[in-house]
Chain A
Amino acid sequence: MEKKKRFLVVSGPNLNLLGTRKISIYGEGSLDDIHKGLQQRAEELNVTVECKQFNSEGAIIDCLQEAPGRFDGVIINAGALAHYSYALRSAIGAMLLPCVEVFISNVHAREEFRHKSVIAPVCVGVIAGFGKKSYLLALDALVNLTGV
């Protein structure tokens, strides 16, 4: 039997606060709810996911550097780091793994500094604005992309 595809899901700074802050932008559920939803979808799709959250930019980079060989693709919600972390961009580029960028909110409908993502050019694609669903759609996209 072929080995199940493994996907890494990384959420960046302040996403541990989901469900407790700015409910009108980010919704009511917690990050744990998102992770549970991803686990459920992963089972349906016959793949596995490992979900992590870090507030620290360096910790995300450490995590991504360890991903090649262990995972077949990555979903990243870099939070505010998306808009300025060139170190994160380099780490994503260095992985040589398909990476999908997600946002819970529609970043284009918000402050101008959120309109630009410095990591988008090194990702396969971007999914923004669909709430928790953004993560689930990203998993669908990775599964489709890696031909599970």
Chain B
Amino acid sequence: MKHIAVIHGPNLNMLGKREVGIYGGKSMEDINASVLAEAERLNVTVEFYQSNGEGDLVTFIQKCRGRVGGIILNAGAYTHYSVALRDAISAAEVPTVEVHISNIYKRESFRHISMIAPVCIGQICGFGPYSYILGLRALIEGRLDSWLV
């Protein structure tokens, strides 16, 4: 059975409490519960990790190498400037899907650039917590798709 890591970056532990107009009222735990339910439906296992620390995220992603079959990553604000996170994803050699709760292209211009997008399979943004569900489907069902290049 495939095993997937769902990784939340900085400030995502505050979901449901901060800027609910942008990020919605659901907590990170609510999102994890819905991802877990979808994982069971897709017959895969998932683990969850959240850290506010860039270095901790780098270390965790490094340790995914050879251990997990895929990563769903919401790197939060680090998305837009962390070259270290980008290098960790490249080094891990684990198929990674970048997700965002909000549509980053509707927001400040500094959020329009993703440092990690070029080393991920693809990007999903703007669908609220459902972005994570789509990310999981992309990773699992997508692997069976001969179109995936």
Contact = CB atoms under 8 A, between A and B. Distances in A.
B121 A127 contact: no
Contacts of A125: 103, 124-127, 131
A128 B142 CA distance: 12
Contacts of A27: 146-149
Contact of B123 (A104, A128, A131): A128
A1 interface: no
Given A120-B105, A125-B131, A137 B149 contact: no
A124 interface: yes
A126 B124 contact: yes
Interface string A26-44: 1111000000000000000
A130 interface: yes
A29 B147 contact: yes
B103 A121 contact: yes
Given A129-B122, A130-B142, A121 B106 contact: yes
Interface residues of B, number: 30
Nearest to B147: A131
B134 A137 contact: yes
A59 to B, nearest CB: 25
Interface stretch (A8-16, A61-69, A105-113): A105-113
Contacts of B130: 141, 144-145
A116 B114 CA distance: 11
Given A106-B121, A121-B105, A133 B145 contact: yes
A142 to B, nearest CB: 10
Contact of B145 (A105, A124, A132, A141): A132
Interface string B99-136: 00001011000001110011111111111001101100
5 contacts: A106-B118, A108-B120, A124-B126, A126-B123, A126-B125
Interface of B: 103, 105-106, 112-114, 117-127, 130-131, 133-134, 137-138, 141-142, 145-149
Given A124-B126, A125-B131, 8 more contacts: A108-B120, A108-B123, A117-B105, A126-B126, A129-B120, A131-B147, A140-B134, A145-B130
Closest 8 pairs between A and B when the two form their complex, measured CB to CB: A129-B122, A125-B126, A131-B147, A108-B117, A120-B105, A27-B147, A132-B147, A109-B118
